[in-house]
Amino acid sequence: MIRYLTCLAICLGGSVLAETPATLIPAVAQSLRPVLRPFTLTPASQDLEAQFQTWLAGFRNRALTLGITPATLDAALPGLSYDAEVVRRDRNQAEFTKTIWDYLDTAVSEARIANGRKAVARHADLLTRVEAQWGVDRHVVAAIWGLESAYGAVRGGDSTLRSLASLAFDTRRAAFFEDQLIAALRILDSGDARLRDLRGSWAGAMGHTQFMPTSYQEHAVDFTGDGRRDIWSDDPSDALASTAAYLKANGWVTGQPWGVEVQLPKGFDLTSARRELTRLPSDWAALGVRDVQGHAVPDHGPASILLPAGHSGAAFMIFDNFAVIETYNTADAYVIGVGHLADRIAGGGPIRGNWPRADRALTLDERIELQERLTAAGFDTQKIDGKIGPLTINAVRDYQLDQGLAPDGYASLRVLERLRNAS
């Protein structure tokens, strides 16, 4: 989901898989997006509904001052109701976690690879023209399509306006979602979409490749030339072109891979496996880093070494295009999922490195506890938010160095238990 939040579809290397019953959608066609269950008003939610309607009336006045036409507001706002389930999901999404290997097992399944190859073949002419115009690898565009909507099979059926209004009414990220709601109304005003078109995921993302409304406004294109930037219809042309346009606008480097799986030499300095430390692949090769076939990686540009599951898991040399895909969803697991799925669709092989499959993902409470204990032990994570980002990874690495452990920055249950035992 473009430019939303780190933990929307994947939190810290996990994913929120679709909850659509398998009897309705085959497993191969399921998106990596959540699907809502039916919502029933209770007495408490009836009180919230009244408050929501009061908020909606105030929002209408604000929308008018921002230039949304009365006709659009009169068509779009009446009948909107508060969706408590959407708000619950938004507030609790960080609880839904998976390890990166469990995520990749689903994101890059054999069925998803096969469907991706069929989709690329079916839309070969379209993807060739998109690639020629924006220089973005067609397989990456297809992989995003595959992860976001199972190649268009699961685009979401929730009312975009209802979801965004409910999240804007909630106080947690009201300003962000009110901006998205205004953007969705501007889309209606522009004539790019009709009211019935504005349907998508529970959190307001839309179309084949799940654009948030502000990203749609900034980057969607009319590739078919019919006068509408239509990312919702069965024809994926505008959606796939818009995805390429988005990636190009965010710095896509033509001809550069997202990353390459590599082998690290015995005795490799694990403290150098950090995002902020970059070297040319030839410089990494001088240190003994090779691809999985044993060859030096070509000099595609500055690269860093990523160990998403620590030194016991697969290792990747990642380039600037990794960060470009990251603007779509900031979880490393998502970026690796897109990149690896793209490679597999293009005919590449599976990841060769092992994963520490005996490990489990830390829960939200455990991640918060890890940050609290690290900070109390003198290894400040800067934030106590349950997100294992670069600051927490560096704090884990510093703690591992202090304890004589392999300093790979991997926030595992073993590190947490060691901290507990020391207190």
Residue 287: is its pLDDT beyond 70? yes
Per-residue pLDDT, averaged over 312-338, amounts to: 96
Top-confidence residue, 409 or 2? 409
**Residue that the structure tokens 């669709």 belong to:** 345
Per-residue pLDDT, averaged over 322-342, amounts to: 96
Residue 26: is its pLDDT beyond 90? no
Per-residue pLDDT, averaged over 139-166, amounts to: 97
pLDDT tier, 27 (very low <50, low <70, confident <90, very high otherwise): very low
pLDDT value of residue 161:
98
Q: Which two tokens stand for residue 394?
A: 């560096």
Beta bridge partners of 111: none
**Residue 49: Cβ within 10 Å count:** 14
pLDDT value of residue 16:
31
Residue 153: is its pLDDT beyond 70? yes
Q: What is the share, in percent, of the chain residues with pLDDT greater than 90?
A: 84
Which residues contact residue 386 at a Cβ distance below 8 angstroms, ignoring those fewer than 6 apart? 94, 364, 365, 367, 368, 371
Per-residue pLDDT, averaged over 86-94, amounts to: 78
Residue 12: is its pLDDT beyond 50? no
pLDDT value of residue 423:
81
CA distance 381 to 243: 35
Which residues contact residue 265 at a Cβ distance below 8 angstroms, ignoring those fewer than 6 apart? 287, 288, 289
**Residue 358: Cβ within 10 Å count:** 6
Phi, psi of 377 (to 5 degrees): -85, 0
Burial (0-12, 13-18, 19+ Cβ within 10 Å), 385: middle
Strand order across the 290-291 sheet: 290-291, 259-263, 315-318, 304-306
Q: Which of 24-33, 107-116, 159-168 has the lowest mean pLDDT?
A: 24-33
Q: Which two tokens stand for residue 119?
A: 């989709």
CA distance 13 to 377: 26
pLDDT value of residue 2:
60
pLDDT value of residue 33:
36
- CB pairs under 8 A, 24+ apart, for 118-123? 119/145, 119/146, 119/151, 120/345, 123/236, 123/240
CA distance 338 to 143: 5
H or E element: which one contains 290?
A: strand 290-291
